[in-house]
Structure 1
Amino acid sequence: MVSLRRDLSVRARMTLLSSVVMALLCTTLSGVILVSVHDHATGDQANRILLADVHVIRQILRNPAPSVLPDHRIAVIQVVAPDGRIVAANARMRGRPRVASFSPPGQSVRADHVICDLPDFPRTCLTVVAMKIDRPGGEWLVYGADPVVPWYVDHSLLAAVLVGSVLLIGATAIGAYRTVSRTLDPVDAISAELAEITSTDLGRRVPVPEHRDEIWTLADTANRTLDRLEAAVEQQRRFASDASHDLRSPITAIRTQLEESLMHPDQAHWSSTAQALLTSIDRLEAIVGDLLTLARLESGAERADDRLDLSELVRSELRRRAPMKGVHTDLQPGVLVCGDRLELARLLTNLMDNAARHAASTVTISTRREGDVAVLEVADDGLGIPPDQREIVFQRFARLDAARNKDQGGTGLGLAIARETAHRHGGDLTVEDSERGARLVLRIPLAPSR
């Protein structure tokens, strides 16, 4: 059954389900109809037999009963004298034995019984109504009987119920199939479009239905997903292009310097060449190291969950790095967070390096608490970042035009690593308004109270 459910399409499953439900409803309704009609027919039959008995009793009371009685639309009529003799019967039962031997008990004048397999009615059950008459000389009995009404009442009724049920179930199946098909046609169109979309034509979108229903939501979600996918692929392409350029530059410089020295080995200054090579190798190593750091952050690797003071982390990093001129701090004590000390220290270092490269004379670092959020700000008094480029600076290998000539020491990945680290710690890193220069603000949740 499970395998069959998996193999059937949605159309087939919904059609089968609606057909089964309608079949159950038709079965229930047919049963109610047949039971109701059967009860009505049984009651009508009992009344008809009783009426025939009453007619016979009237005839007996008025005149001597003839030996052959009219049928009165029932199968059996017999009149039994007090001595047990059958003195009158309908034509079919003339000369036949008594159809029953019971009589109404006590003061009752009527008794009903169902008797089966009589010699004159093999494999048949009869509804027998007996009535008692008190006359001089004893009690007379009048028996009226007719075959029991079958459960289906009549073949025509059973055929009508069956045909009606089949037609109703068939109409339900056809209607359900067509309704589900019309509902799923947009899904088929969406599936066909998605199947044709490849990495080279991510600009295509799935068709959106006119009515705003669940299918419309599905199509809209698929299109928005394709928008994000296209943006991600485009970002990866730009990243690959920028990474290849930034990696190729130091490699090309190394190769050029080596080729020049080898062309004139007697005139080469090997010590200065080695120093230049080390500079290029340092840059190459920094780029590769940052790329590996980004890959590790994006892989979702587990991080430490140390409880540390963000203000003390700033002081520690300032003591550890080379002295910086024009650094001002405003550190609020007790700004406790939970996170990886090494990753947060790298984030802080990237922000301070970025500020130091772009500052005219002053770098300001501050920490504070805002509700249940820890805030770290690193600001400089440089040229600043235009509002329309505040997201661009967090892209990989992104450098603003104003910083391309000045920012020669960075790899172009520092702020991207910083933002990814902020996201890993449940926060965010943004560029916010400032009177002068750039102001980068980190917000991450405070550590829970012990």
Structure 2
Amino acid sequence: MRRDWSVRARMTVLAGVVMALLCTTFCALILVGAYQDATEDRADRILRVKLRVLPLLLRDRLPPVLPELGIVALQVVGPTGRVVAANSRMTGKPRMASFVPPEEFSPKGGVVCGTPKPDACVIVVGLRVHAHGDHWIIYGAEPVVPPYVHHFLLAALLGGSALLVGVTAVGTYRTVGKTLVPIEAMRAELAEITSTDPGRRVPVPEHHDEIRQLAEIVNQTLDRLEAALQRERRFAYDASHDLRSPITAMRTQVEEALLHPKEADWPATADALLDSLHRLQAIVTNLLELARVDAGGVDLGERVDLSELADSELARRVRRARVVADPQPDVVVTADRLQLARLIANLLDNAERHATSTVTVSVRREGGDAVLEVGDDGPGISPDQREYVFQRFARLEAARSKDQGGTGLGLAIARGIAERHGGTLTIEDSERGARFVARIPIRDPDETEESG
């Protein structure tokens, strides 16, 4: 099975390779410079030796065998092209080079192989001089400089490079290891967090760096997940409780009727069962609607006249309270018609259940928003309870004692629809009763499609 390298191993190898490349480059530059310097030094040394031979030539005291002056090969070529003097290594050997310096006292050099040994190459420098009325050439040679210049230099460069690569690899391995310690701690903690223990959090490093920011973001995400889990648990509890109530009532009614079937009032029992079924159906329908809103199942591409939609909703319902409507014309939004109709219906249902006698509805344009207000003249909602009523299955027992037909989901659904359209649904101050205000941004269809 293929096993990927760890981050520490990959970073160590990468750092080692990069350092090796850098060392190779610098070593090559050093060797090239040292090679050039060594070559020039040998050429200068050859030239100095030839200058020591020059006085012998000018005084006509040139011996056939030249003294050993510290270089490998030394020859003096006469005007006829014959070797007239040489050191002991070059005695009896032919002329070591054929090139002729172009000017007097202007040295010329080159590499020649086969002199003084057949398998050796040397650096030859020639010097053209004028003596005794004619031109003479003095050749001197030294072994060529090897590419590595000197084995001590090569060993020093290789040893230093190996040391640098090793130090870099070890340093990278340890540094990355220390860097990954808090990440490993976060990984271990995350691996142990379960739905039964959502309150645990990953450790936050002391240093203010990117890893600390990562730990803080992870903890913030865990906070949101824990809050969502608590909401889901509370929602499941409330849903099961609200679903159990009508089911229990139906079962009790049926069991009582079956105990005395001849004495039971079956039409009344059927009516009671229908009431419980209506409530059960309302709860299930609202749960499905909540699931759809949470899943984002909203089509924001239709242009909807909010005033016309509010009039249509008012016209089709049986009034349980007097309605005072004041919709301004041509308040058009880009939205999902069915979802906005559900928002208006939920607000109207809530207002009619709690109104003493009157429900007020108004639609207007305010800046860049379409504003829908639905109010009632009921007991109202205290400021500290205004957010609570938008929670799922929330009910205010004291202030909403008349709420016998609600499921506790209508306002949560209405707010979800408003927020899905980029708007808000809040409860604002009023002289009497509760005043729900929904604000929906007025946007063009193209802008809505881009934002969605």
TM-score (norm 2): 0.93
CA distance in 1, matches of 2:431, 2:17: 73
Match of 2:209 among 201, 207, 213: 213
* 1:9-88 paired onto structure 2 within 5 Å: 9-62=6-59, 64-88=61-85
How many residues get paired? 446
Map of 1:89 onto structure 2: 86
Of residues 429-438 and 249-258 in structure 1, the stretch that sits farther from structure 2 once superposed is 429-438
Match of 1:354 among 350, 354, 357: 350
* 1:358-397 paired onto structure 2 within 5 Å: 358-397=354-393
Instruction: Compute the displacement of 1:124 (Å).
Output: 2.7
- Aligned in 2, Cα 1:311/1:127: closer, same or farther, shift over 3 Å? same
CA distance in 2, matches of 1:386, 1:299: 32
Q: CA RMSD in A?
A: 2.1
Instruction: Compute the displacement of 1:177 (Å).
Output: 1.6
Does 1:294 find its partner at 2:258? no
Map of 1:259 onto structure 2: 255
Letter in 2 for 1:27: T
Does structure 1 retain, via aligned residues, the 8 Å contact 2:327–2:364? Answer: yes
Could you tell me which runs of 5 or more consecutive residues in structure 1 were left unpaired when the two chains were aligned.
Answer: none
- Aligned in 2, Cα 1:346/1:46: closer, same or farther, shift over 3 Å? same
Q: What do the CA deviations read for 1:18-73 (whole angstroms, capped 9, x no partner)?
A: 22222221111111111111111111111111111111112322351123323333
Does structure 2 retain, via aligned residues, the 8 Å contact 1:327–1:364? Answer: yes
Instruction: Compute the displacement of 1:397 (Å).
Output: 0.8
Q: Which runs of 4+ in 1 moved over 4 A?
A: 106-109
Does structure 1 retain, via aligned residues, the 8 Å contact 2:301–2:445? Answer: no
Letter in 2 for 1:236: E
Instruction: Compute the displacement of 1:173 (Å).
Output: 1.2
Letter in 2 for 1:406: K
Does 1:342 find its partner at 2:338? yes
Instruction: Compute the displacement of 1:429 (Å).
Output: 1.6
Please give the secondary structure, in 2, of the residue aligned with 1:402: coil
Could you tell me which runs of 5 or more consecutive residues in structure 2 were left unpaired when the two chains were aligned.
Answer: 447-452
- Aligned in 2, Cα 1:357/1:195: closer, same or farther, shift over 3 Å? same
Letter in 1 for 2:162: V
Does structure 2 retain, via aligned residues, the 8 Å contact 1:208–1:216? Answer: yes
Q: What do the CA deviations read for 1:202-260 (whole angstroms, capped 9, x no partner)?
A: 00000011122211111111111111111111111111111111111111111111111
Of residues 349-358 and 12-21 in structure 1, the stretch that sits farther from structure 2 once superposed is 12-21
CA distance in 2, matches of 1:124, 1:379: 110
Please give the secondary structure, in 2, of the residue aligned with 1:122: coil
CA distance in 2, matches of 1:133, 1:344: 110
Letter in 1 for 2:231: Q
Instruction: Compute the displacement of 1:404 (Å).
Output: 5.4
Does structure 2 retain, via aligned residues, the 8 Å contact 1:427–1:445? Answer: yes
Letter in 2 for 1:66: P
Does 1:235 find its partner at 2:231? yes
Map of 1:429 onto structure 2: 425
- Aligned in 2, Cα 1:382/1:121: closer, same or farther, shift over 3 Å? farther
Match of 2:161 among 150, 162, 165: 165
Letter in 2 for 1:126: V
CA distance in 2, matches of 1:351, 1:83: 124
Q: What do the CA deviations read for 1:107-155 (whole angstroms, capped 9, x no partner)?
A: 564321211234x323332111111222226322211011111221111
Does structure 2 retain, via aligned residues, the 8 Å contact 1:351–1:415? Answer: yes
Does 1:180 find its partner at 2:176? yes
Instruction: Compute the displacement of 1:267 (Å).
Output: 0.6
CA distance in 1, matches of 2:60, 2:103: 27
- Aligned in 2, Cα 1:420/1:139: closer, same or farther, shift over 3 Å? same
- Aligned in 2, Cα 1:24/1:387: closer, same or farther, shift over 3 Å? farther
Instruction: Compute the displacement of 1:198 (Å).
Output: 0.3
Please give the secondary structure, in 1, of the residue aligned with 2:128: strand
CA distance in 1, matches of 2:400, 2:362: 27
- Aligned in 2, Cα 1:371/1:17: closer, same or farther, shift over 3 Å? farther
CA distance in 2, matches of 1:184, 1:434: 58
Instruction: Compute the displacement of 1:323 (Å).
Output: 2.2
The sequence identity of aligned pairs, in percent, is 61
Letter in 2 for 1:113: G
Please give the secondary structure, in 1, of the residue aligned with 2:206: coil
Letter in 2 for 1:254: M
Instruction: Compute the displacement of 1:302 (Å).
Output: 5.0
